[in-house]
C-alpha cells in the first residue's frame, strides 16, 4: 500500500517543456503531484520539477525519467509545420513504441497520450464528430499520418492483465499564451500582408481549445484511468465545446493585436488547388531552394472547412467540462501576446 500511495502522485511529462506540456506540468503541481519532465530541450526552470534531458527515440534515455512513477503523460511531437517525414515517423511512431516499452519495464501503471482530433480529418467537413469516426485513410500530411499510428499503438497497449492502462486525449486547435504555432504564425501571416482575404465564406465552424482546458482534460483522464474503468483504452475529444467560425476566431486575435482582419472571402476550392499546386512546385524546387509555403493544403482545408467535435464522451465518462470559456481564453491569449502587437 505504501509503495502504491508513494508512487500514486508521482508522474513524468514527456514533452513537458513544450507549449501544452508546461501547462500540464503547472496543473499537476497545483494538484500536489511530484513532477518530472523529460524533453529533448529544457526551456524553463522550476525548483519543484526534476528535469531529464534526452531523446525519446532512444529508449535508454527514458528509463531514468520514468523510474518509480505511476503516470506518464506523453505530449512530445515534432512541430506540425515540419515537413520531415522521417522525423515524424521516428518521434511519433518509433518513439511512442519506446515509451510504451519503457513504461512496461519500469512498472508505470498509466500512460496518457496527447493525440489529436485531426486523426479522423481528411480535409472534408466534420460536424460534431464523435470518437467513433474512422481514422483518416488518407491523412493530409505526415504529422497526421504519424499521429494516427501513435494513437493506435497506445490504445492497443492498454493491458489490464499487466496493470498497464492507456488513454488518448484528442485536443483540437490549442491556443493560449506561450503557444508556438497558432498566434505566431498568424501574426507572421498578417505582417506579410496575407490576411487581407479569408479562405471560403467565413461560416465554417471550428473547435479552438484554450490550453488550460486541455491540461485539465489530461489530468481528468489520468485520475479516471484504473482497473475496470470505462476510460481505459479509449480516445477522448477535449475541446472548449464552443465551435466558432474559423475566421471569426482569427479576426478576434488579429484585431486584439491591432492587425486588420479579412473582410472578403476567396473561393475555397480555388485556394485549395492553388495551395496544392504550390506545394508540388516547392517539392520540385527543393533541390535548388527550400521554400515553405504559408498556405499548405492542410492549413487551407483547416481554414475553409467545418471541423468541430463532440466531447460528450469525456463529459459522461470523466465529468469533463471546460474550465476557461472561449471568450476569456481569447482575451487571455491577446494579453499574453502584447509583444506581437502591431505598432504601425
Ligand atoms: N498545438 C495544437 O494545436 C495541437 C497539438 N496537439 C498535440 O499536442 C502535443 C503538444 O503539442 P504542442 O505543445 O503544441 O507542441 P510543442 O512543440 O510546443 O511541444 C512538443 C515538445 O516535445 C518535445 N520533443 C519533440 N521531439 C522530442 C524528442 N525526440 N524527445 C523528447 N522530446 C521531444 C519538444 O522539445 C517540445 O518541448 C503534441 O503531441 C501535438 O501533436 C494536438 C492537437 C492540437
Ligand atoms: C490559414 C492561416 C495561415 C492561419 C494561421 C493560423 C494557423 C497557423 C493555425 C490555424 C489552425 C491551426 C491548427 C494547427 C496548427 C496551426 C493552425 C494551422 C494544428 C494542425 C496543430 C496540430 C494539430 O494536431 C491540429 C491543429 C489543427 C488547427
Please state the three-class secondary structure of 49-62 as a single string. Answer: CEEEECCCCCHHHH
pLDDT digits (tens, 9 = 90+) for 210-257: 999 999 999 999 999 999 999 999 999 999 999 999 999 999 999 999
* C-beta 17 within 6 A of ligand 1: yes
Question: Into how many domains does the chain fold?
Answer: 1
Is the dihedral angle over the CA atoms 38, 43, 48, 50 positive or is it negative? positive
* Residue with CA nearest ligand 2 atom 27: 173
In a domain, 258, yes or no: no
**Span 129-156, average pLDDT:** 97
Ligand number, closest to the Cα atom of 197: 2
pLDDT value at position 90? 98
Best mutation site among 23, 57, 76 for ligand 1 pocket (most ligand atoms within 8 Å of CB): 76
* Residue with CA nearest ligand 1 atom 41: 77
In a domain, 265, yes or no: no
Q: Which atom of ligand 2 is nearest to the CA of 171?
A: 24
* Residue with CA nearest ligand 1 atom 44: 172
**How far is residue 331's CA from residue 344's CA, in Å, rounded to a whole number?**
21
In a domain, 191, yes or no: no
- Beta-carbon contacts of 297 under 8 Å, excluding residues fewer than 6 positions away, are 123, 140, 272, 275, 276, 279
SS3 state at 74: strand
**How far is residue 174's CA from residue 211's CA, in Å, rounded to a whole number?**
6
**Span 322-334, average pLDDT:** 98
Band the pLDDT of 83: cuts 50, 70, 90: confident
User: Model's pTM, two decimal places?
Assistant: 0.96
pLDDT value at position 54? 98
- Residue 228 alpha carbon to ligand 1 centre in Å: 30
In a domain, 162, yes or no: yes
Edge-to-edge strands, sheet with 110-114: 50-53, 34-39, 10-14, 71-74, 110-114, 165-171, 235-238
Q: Identify the bridge partners of residue 238 per DSSP, sorted by sequence position.
A: 171
pLDDT value at position 4? 46
- Beta-carbon contacts of 7 under 8 Å, excluding residues fewer than 6 positions away, are 68, 69, 70, 109
- Residue 324 alpha carbon to ligand 2 centre in Å: 20
Residue whose cell numbers read 461560416: 203
- Residue 297 alpha carbon to ligand 1 centre in Å: 21
Ligand number, closest to the Cα atom of 77: 1
Active-site positions read 143
In a domain, 131, yes or no: yes
Task: Report the chain's C-alpha Rg in angstroms.
Answer: 20
- Check: CB of residue 341 under 8 Å from CB of residue 258: yes
* C-beta 146 within 6 A of ligand 2: no
* C-beta 39 within 6 A of ligand 1: yes
* Residue with CA nearest ligand 1 atom 1: 174
In a domain, 268, yes or no: no
Q: CA 172, 175, 180, 185: dihedral to nearest 10 degrees?
A: 90
pLDDT value at position 8? 67
In a domain, 277, yes or no: no
Band the pLDDT of 344: cuts 50, 70, 90: confident
**Span 197-207, average pLDDT:** 96
Ligand number, closest to the Cα atom of 146: 1
**Span 299-315, average pLDDT:** 97
Name the residue range of residue 101's domain: 10-179+208-241+308-324
* Residue with CA nearest ligand 1 atom 39: 75
Which comes out higher in pLDDT, residue 274 or 4?
Answer: 274
CATH number at residue 42: 3.40.50.720
In a domain, 106, yes or no: yes
Q: pLDDT at residue 7 above 90?
A: no
Amino acid at each position: 500500500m505504501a509503495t502504491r500511495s508513494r508512487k500514486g502522485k508521482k508522474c513524468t511529462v514527456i514533452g513537458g517543456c513544450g507549449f501544452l506540456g508546461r501547462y500540464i506540468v503547472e496543473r499537476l503541481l497545483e494538484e500536489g503531484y511530484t513532477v518530472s519532465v523529460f524533453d529533448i530541450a529544457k526551456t524553463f526552470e522550476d525548483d519543484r520539477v526534476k528535469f531529464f534531458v534526452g531523446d525519446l527515440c532512444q529508449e535508454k534515455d527514458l528509463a531514468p525519467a520514468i523510474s518509480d512513477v505511476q503516470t506518464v503523460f506523453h505530449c512530445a511531437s515534432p512541430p506540425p509545420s515540419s515537413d520531415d517525414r522521417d522525423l515524424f515517423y521516428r518521434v511519433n511512431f518509433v518513439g511512442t513504441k519506446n515509451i510504451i516499452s519503457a513504461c512496461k519495464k519500469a512498472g508505470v501503471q498509466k500512460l496518457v497520450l496527447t493525440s489529436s482530433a485531426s486523426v479522423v480529418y481528411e480535409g472534408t467537413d466534420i460536424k460534431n464528430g464523435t470518437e467513433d469516426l474512422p481514422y483518416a485513410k488518407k491523412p493530409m500530411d505526415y504529422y497526421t499520418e504519424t499521429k494516427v499510428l501513435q494513437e493506435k499503438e497506445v490504445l492497443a497497449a492498454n493491458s489490464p492483465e499487466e496493470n498497464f492502462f492507456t488513454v488518448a486525449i484528442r485536443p483540437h486547435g490549442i491556443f493560449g499564451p506561450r503557444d508556438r504555432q497558432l498566434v505566431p504564425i498568424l501574426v507572421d501571416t498578417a505582417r506579410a500582408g496575407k490576411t487581407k482575404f479569408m479562405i471560403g465564406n467565413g461560416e465554417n465552424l471550428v473547435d479552438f481549445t484554450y490550453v488550460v482546458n486541455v491540461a485539465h482534460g489530461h489530468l481528468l483522464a489520468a485520475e479516471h484511468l484504473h482497473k475496470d474503468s470505462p476510460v481505459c483504452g479509449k480516445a477522448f475529444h477535449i475541446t472548449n465545446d464552443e465551435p466558432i467560425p474559423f475566421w471569426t476566431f482569427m479576426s478576434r486575435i488579429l484585431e486584439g493585436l491591432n492587425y486588420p482582419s479579412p473582410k472578403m472571402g476567396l473561393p475555397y476550392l480555388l485556394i485549395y488547388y492553388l495551395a496544392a499546386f504550390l506545394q508540388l512546385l516547392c517539392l520540385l524546387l527543393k533541390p535548388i531552394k527550400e521554400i515553405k509555403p504559408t498556405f499548405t493544403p492542410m492549413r487551407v482545408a483547416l481554414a475553409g472547412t467545418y471541423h468541430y467535435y463532440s466531447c460528450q464522451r469525456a463529459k459522461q465518462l470523466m465529468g469533463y467540462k471546460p474550465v476557461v470559456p472561449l471568450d476569456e481564453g481569447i482575451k487571455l491569449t491577446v494579453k499574453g501576446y502584447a509583444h506581437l502587437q502591431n505598432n504601425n
